[in-house]
Amino acid sequence: MLHTLSHSPWQCDIDTLLSMLREGDDLLLIQDGVLAALEGSRFVEILTNAPITVSALKDDLDARGLSGQISAKIDVVGYTDFVNLTVTHASQMNW
């Protein structure tokens, strides 16, 4: 399943999101969700300990001036990668 987090992690029920993640899922951080990718954030540790791949949309990072502050544990992807993720995963959930 593809999960997209479009809200600030401080305004999202992270515990519920984590309970829904399954091995092999992908989580794409978009819009204000990219704040969860900030280096040193507790959310980076929480999300990267899950059995999933975590990515952040480059355009949303750039729009917020955060590109140089993102954890190396987070994959930075473009819109083509976003489309590929939607094709790969038949099911999607937005948080």
pLDDT, one tens digit for every residue, the chain (95 residues): 999 999 999 999 999 999 999 999 999 999 999 999 999 999 999 999 999 999 999 999 999 999 999 999 999 999 999 999 999 999 999 99
Nearest alpha-carbon partner for 44 in 54, 57, 32: 54
- Enumerate the domain spans of the chain: 2-94
| Nearest-angstrom CA–CA distance, 84 and 32 | 21
Q: What is the CATH number of domain 2-94?
A: 3.40.1260.10
Q: What is the pTM of this model?
A: 0.95
